[in-house]
Amino acid sequence: MENFSQPDEFASTVFDYIVVGGGTAGIVVATRLSEDSSVMVGLVEAGPPVFGEPTVDIPGKMGQTIGTQYDWAFETVPQVGLSGQTLPWPRGKMLGGTSAMNFLVWNQGCREDYDAWAELGNEGWGWEVLNYYFKKTESFTQPSADQQREFITPHRASDHGVAGPVQTTYPSFLAETHKYWHDTLQNLDVGTNPSHFGGSNVGAWTSVVNVDPKTRTRSYSATAYLRPVSGRTNLKVLPNANVNEVLFGAEKTADGDLVATGVRFTTDGRIRKAICRREVILSAGSVGSPQILELSGVGNPDILGQAGIETKMENTHIGENLQEHIMTMTVFELRPEIITPDNYADAEFKREVDLLYQTTKGGLQTATPASMVYLPASKLIPDLSSITEKARKFTKRHPKSSRDYLLNSIRQRQFDSGLSLGQVEFILDHGNYSPVFKSEPGKKYATMMQILQYPYSRGSIHIDPSAAADGKVLIDPMYYQGEGEIDYEVMVQTQAFGDVICRTAPMNGIVVKRVYPPEDSSLDWREWVSRNTITDWHPIGTCSMLPRESGGVVNSQLKVYGTTNVRVADASIFPLHISAHVQATIYAVAEKAADLIKQTWGSPLRANL
């Protein structure tokens, strides 16, 4: 790409804006800011460009970048609530970030999820405003009439954008299990949602994916936003460079705020710095953004002191309020004639599938998870009284002005207000996804994923004082600990519903039996859940957008408290989790962030909202 920069050139350029992190959000912010030809924008990414990489581009190869050089390969500290286990936390380390690694699900949360952000003191962050940005980022191609009939894809076209950079559509090939999905849920009195982008995703639906319908390749931030502006001379992109800290001027403002002057970064074994005149924008994700703030001397003095870092601005909330979707997987054996990725064990079959994709852009290599249903807890748990009482107790234990009181008062509504919100997501897809169960040769499998959407578990991400300079972080989601016991109760009691789906007609016509955990009358679901809960790769909240006195790190303009010109724009600013996969919302946050920055500096190229 023409706007790729060499380290010395990047270091010698005086930028107006420096964006740290070339992932899902950072690329959006950088490309939108550089629409103004009068400014110079720098974008720094720790990973390499991966244009043309098959494991990124081909939908059916999703997941194959996990554990490779394109993965940060983080892991949690041992989790008491998970029987002492340490969990892997894959995150994308490449241009495009996790938008180049994820499983391509494109959806939005419920109206109430975003209105809750506004209710927490963030004016302009409710559903109506964010829905504008959802549409701005997307270019949706409707499925053909034949696809709509075959795959059951009811939708309302007006809920989608038609001119945005990210290409979205419905899959062109779906697992055989999907043929029975909607009818099976109907038999369980769960209807198909005719407009799951319209402010409520509750019910069954077929997933939209971020795939270009013409090429049937992944559409992600690097291909959607960056590659089309590769000739833009006022945007310089530096891959394979780690930002070590944000640089601040020696003097604070009259209000005592820090003023950022640039960043220090490492590449090719050398440390350099880059200077900016206006703003530094952190888009390094829920792990990287709080880490960089702490390395820059902004954070909890106790943590910084242990790492030998001078405290330049105290904020004990940085790295706190970590929330994550948690998931369990159950595996079912299918009838042997069902076609699944398990067929790849036959080399000739795999060659045929690969050839079909190369020649027609069709077939199994375009298949992605598409059988979705979001359900309220009341549908899954007959008696919610004990959980409701715990939720009320956990709200009342906190001072009314505190972050935890504000968040819990919203969370408890899911149990006692009668709102129909998707507290648990179920996804069924062909193949064995389990990191524990090993497939038997010749067998065919499907995996049911049960994913909690509104967690009470709240943890933290901080630099590791013993190895902060080496980029080590301590990730402690505190799964099922403290108030997270509510999450545990919900997950234990909802496990049965995945079984029910697969034992209900017509799905039961292709399911032979459950193989993980095995069908055993003595199975202790409580113990199984504590040993088999994993991450769903949707961490948020570590630089929360909240009032400062209520535990915030950034304000509603995304500025870091105690600084004049450092913003955060990524999933770390979500104050509360949403009932959805996060990538579409991250794009919307980044689009809005770019407009906020343009508005601050008087750019005419912004939305007037």
The 10 Å CB-count burial string (b at 16+, else e) for 185-212 is beebebebbebbbbbbbbbbbbbbbbbb
| CA–CA distance, 26 with 29 (Å, rounded to integer) | 5
Q: Examine the residue annotation and report whether 577 is marked as an active-site residue of this protein.
A: no
Question: Which residues, 6 or more positions from 216, have their beta carbon under 8 angstroms from its beta carbon?
Answer: 59, 172, 357, 361, 362, 366
Q: What b/e readout covers 138-147, taking b as 16+ CB neighbours within 10 angstroms? A: bbbbebeeeb
DSSP secondary structure letters along 311-365: -SEE-TTTT--BB--EEEEEEEEE-TTS--GGGGGSHHHHHHHHHHHHHHS-SGG
Instruction: Note whether 535 and 477 are within 8 A (CB).
Output: yes
For residues 189 and 203, the answer to whether their CB atoms sit within 8 Å is no
Q: What secondary structure letter does DSSP report for 92?
A: B
Considering only the C-alpha atoms of the chain, give the largest distance between any 2 of them, rounded to a whole number of Å: 73
Omega into 575 within 30° of 0, i.e. cis? Answer: no
Copy the structure tokens of residue 483. Answer: 């108030």
**Which of 196, 538, 577, 581 does the annotation list as catalytic?**
538
Structure tokens at 172: 């062109």
Contact 555, 548 (CB under 8 A): yes
Q: Which residues are the active-site residues?
A: 538
